[in-house]
Structure 1
């Protein structure tokens, strides 16, 4: 069972009005679609996680006619859940229609980023995934960021390592590189992954940096 981590880039005129308004402000740091219900009805319901100035975000929602209603739940000083219902439009259809087919599952969250970018994970068979990607409109630029065998456990903590970075970390752990006192050298790690010591060291440094950054994002920073 394959998974794809894909990036969708929308041209300016297709960016959701809320996301366009957020792009114009530094007040909102993160806007993540956690769950959604998309039925045959014209209205869809979504749960977002929003990090930043919630008043700015709420004002953006109020300015968009097709947002039917919303409710904000405070988590902490900067984090909020936003539960909203909105009327579907042609851009929503263009984004979700290719992924609404037998043999494909969209794995939340969908991370909305500046400049009209959305990143998401989909799982399925190679053929159905390929068909879905081919059906996105030409104006929505689609990039495959990662591809591999899906493992639900990776979603619990996924720092986005490359295959070589993961191999280097696995070799380091198995060889005792991270034990105290250290039971292996970087040269031994390099031998296990058939790389030079400098290359193995670089893989480990980048992997460690990505893992620590991802870990700290899970915690409330002061």
Structure 2
């Protein structure tokens, strides 16, 4: 079963007002769609995780006509859950339609970032996945960041390593590079992945940075 890690880049005129807030305001550090219910009804229901100034976020929600209602639950000083319903619009229809088909599942969360970017994971059969991507609106730039065999356990904690970074990290663990005391060198790792020591070292540095950053973000959420 294949999965695609996809990045969508919305032009300013198609961005949701709250996504535009994430793009333009330093008050919101993170906006993640944790789960959503999209039915054959005019209103959709979503659960978001939000980090930042929740009053700024709530004021923005109140200013959007199609937000029907919302409820905020505080987690800690900067983290909140926001449960809301909103009226679907034409952009939503164009986005949700292609992904609502037999053989395709959108696996949450959907991470909204600056510059109009949303990142999400899509799982399914090869044909339906291809058709879904092909029917996404042309004005929304679509980039496939990664293709692979889906494993739910991996997505519990995924620092989004490249294949070479993963190979280097796996070789380092297997060879004892991270043992204490260390029983392998960068040269040993390089030999295992058939790369120059300088290349292996660079892969390890980038992989370690990605892993630790993802870990801290996971701890922040937890």
* Cα deviation, residue 96, structure 1: 1.1
Partner of 1:47: 47
Q: Bigger CA drift: 13-22 or 65-74?
A: 13-22
Are 2:14 and 1:14 equivalent residues in the alignment?
yes
Post-superposition Cα deviations, 1:188-218, rounded to whole Å, max 9, x if no partner, equal 1111111111111111111011111111112
Distance in 1, matches of 2:56 and 2:156, equals 30
- Paired residues, number: 221
Unaligned runs of 5+ in 1: none
Match of 1:192 in 2: 192
Q: Could you tell me the TM-score, scaled by structure 1's length?
A: 0.97
Contact kept in structure 1, 2:22 and 2:113, CA below 8 Å: no
Question: Distance in 2 between the 1:149 and 1:12 partners?
Answer: 33
- Aligned equivalents of 2:220, 2:128: Cα separation in 1: 39
- Tell me the CA shift for residue 220 of structure 1: 3.8
Alignment of 1:1-222 (within 5 A): 1-220=1-220
Q: CA RMSD in A?
A: 1.2
Q: Distance in 1 between matches of 2:129 and 2:31?
A: 26
CA-to-partner distance for each residue in 1:95-130, whole Å, 9 max, x for gaps?
Answer: 111110000110000011112211100011222111
SS in structure 2 at match of 1:138: coil
Per-residue CA shift, 1:161-196, capped at 9, x if unaligned? 000000011111111111111111111111111111
Q: What is the TM-score when the length of structure 2 is the normalising length?
A: 0.97
Q: Point out 4+ residue stretches in structure 1 off by more than 6 angstroms.
A: none
8 A Cα contact 2:22 2:31, kept in partner: no
Distance of 1:2 and 1:28 partners within structure 2:
33
Gaps of 5+ in 2: none
Given that 2:22 and 2:30 are in contact with CA atoms closer than 8 Å, whether structure 1 keeps it comes out as: no
